[in-house]
Amino acid sequence: MKSPMIKTSLPGPRARKLIEKDGTYVSPSYTRYYPLVVEKARGLWVHDVDGNVFLDFTAGIAVCATGHCHPRVIKAIKAQADLLLHMSGTDFYYRTQIVLAEKLACLAPGEGGKKVYFGNSGAEAVEAAFKLARWHTQRELNLAFYGAFHGRTMGALSLTASKTIQKKHYNPLVPGITHIPYAYCYRCPYNLSYPQCGLGCVNWVEDTLFRTTIPPEEVAAIIVEPIQGEGGYIVPPPDFHLELYRIAKKYGILYVVDEVQTGMGRTGKMFAMEHFGVDPDIIALAKGIASGMPLGALTARAEIMDWEAGSHASTFGGNPVSCQAALATIELLEEGLINNAVVQGEYLMAGLREFQQSFECMGDVRGKGLMVAVEFVKDRENKKPAREWRNEVIKKAFQKGLLLLGCGENSIRFSPALTVTAAEIDECLSIFDDVVREVAV
């Protein structure tokens, strides 16, 4: 297949009926950008219930790393489903869970042994990281970042500082968390420029925060995304994590990295932190790990994962079908998909950078591998966020058969499956070009 195929008005008649029923029976708390009702999908091509075909540059929010329904993932899932669906890794042992734990422990960056905890989602992985950091250090305070998204359960939500609607009416949350500015150099919170700034945002933690309000010896963890995801695909400078990590180690603080969105090859390395030369103490994983089957995982240095039996667990965590999907996913990533993320990511970014020459509204094009974003502005000089243009571009792209999602206040993310081809990127760029021309001249 070369192009999307839209044969009804959108939403089509079947989609419209289902969306109406959804309004009656389904929680209104979900955020739907546009009325897509999915029926089936293969690779990057998604069919809706009316037979319209879309090109998917969302990968189900950066989840379907190997493309929709990769035959080898499906084969692994079917074989496991014939054997066993559930027994519970909480009270019993699963062969697949142990094999996957060994694989992840070997893959996780850094010297020495690692141990792995399994849950079902990104929020659960973060929740576990948060609890483990408290358990191990027996310290009560934590640092997290403005713009961060770590999930919606109470602990993960407490670490999140993305949109107020996510917190509205849910206070009080977990105490002891201080949010600090991330290295968002396009809009530096300190009005400085890298590298002349000398990483002022990092130095501020030690020189101001730790001197005035937060006793560093009471801080359990710094919880950070290698590249901010929901916050706007914000890539920090190359030495940001190294410097922050140096400060963390000076005070015995754990460096807890949320790789839920950046992990599993998306940025062109298995773990995005490998770009920054830091070996984290704890890593939270989910999304791309099992190509769409629900799975969350936490890797930690073995000496850190010292909690006792009964201190944390989950009935469904590390489900054997999800674990088999993860093993098949990792095999595919190692066989070539991570490399494809590097090659196609550069191609995608080059195409977007070329458009940027002609479109004033494309204020910033940034990313790593296949985690790429365009930030929309009213004009380059004042950088006034053009949120409405961003939203219009996403809606119009949908009408033309291209699936995109927003991130941050005024950015669009491009997070296709790691199987994406140059021809699919050309198709995406061609639709994007048309749409941006229509929306923002």
Binding residues (CB under 6 A) for ligand PLP: these are: 121-123, 126, 149-151, 225, 229-230, 258, 260-261, 286
Please say which residue, 260 or 374, places its beta carbon nearer to ligand PLP: 260
Smallest distance, Å, CB 98 to ligand PLP? 23
Collect all residues with Cβ–Cβ distance below 8 Å to 112 and sequence separation of at least 6.
301, 302, 303
Smallest distance, Å, CB 294 to ligand PLP? 8
- The SS3 call for residue 326 is helix
Measured CA to CA, the distance from residue 66 to residue 35 in angstroms comes to: 25
Sheet holding 114-119, edge to edge: 114-119, 296-301, 282-285, 254-258, 219-224, 141-145, 177-180
CB-CB neighbours of 317 under 10 Å:
24
Smallest distance, Å, CB 278 to ligand PLP? 17
Q: Considering Cα of 318, then 322, then 327, then 332, what sign does the dihedral take? A: negative
Smallest distance, Å, CB 406 to ligand PLP? 12
Smallest distance, Å, CB 137 to ligand PLP? 21
Smallest distance, Å, CB 225 to ligand PLP? 5
Q: Which two tokens stand for residue 76?
A: 């692994």
How does DSSP classify residue 235? Answer: P
Please say which residue, 61 or 188, places its beta carbon nearer to ligand PLP: 61
Amino acid at 209: L
Please say which residue, 149 or 389, places its beta carbon nearer to ligand PLP: 149
* Of 323, 215, 202, 222, nearest in space to 282 by CA: 222
Please say which residue, 123 or 370, places its beta carbon nearer to ligand PLP: 123
Smallest distance, Å, CB 125 to ligand PLP? 7
Torsional class of 162: left (φ above 0), alpha (ψ -120 to 50), beta (otherwise): alpha
Please say which residue, 150 or 396, places its beta carbon nearer to ligand PLP: 150
Please say which residue, 31 or 382, places its beta carbon nearer to ligand PLP: 31
Please say which residue, 121 or 142, places its beta carbon nearer to ligand PLP: 121
- The SS3 call for residue 327 is helix
The closest residue (CB) to ligand PLP is 122
- The SS3 call for residue 41 is strand
Strands 254-258 and 219-224: parallel
Please say which residue, 149 or 376, places its beta carbon nearer to ligand PLP: 149
CA R_g for the chain: 22
Helix or strand run (H / E) with residue 45? strand 45-48
- End-to-end CA gap in the chain: 31
Task: Please state, in angstroms and as integers, the Cα–Cα distance from residue 400 to each residue in 46, 78, 189, 376, 395, following that order.
Answer: 13, 35, 37, 20, 9
Smallest distance, Å, CB 258 to ligand PLP? 5
Please say which residue, 52 or 160, places its beta carbon nearer to ligand PLP: 160
Q: Which two tokens stand for residue 175?
A: 């105490």
Smallest distance, Å, CB 159 to ligand PLP? 9
Please say which residue, 115 or 150, places its beta carbon nearer to ligand PLP: 150
Smallest distance, Å, CB 287 to ligand PLP? 6
The answer to whether residues 63 and 326 touch, using CB atoms and an 8 Å cutoff, is no
Burial of 250 (0-12, 13-18, 19+ CB in 10 A): exposed
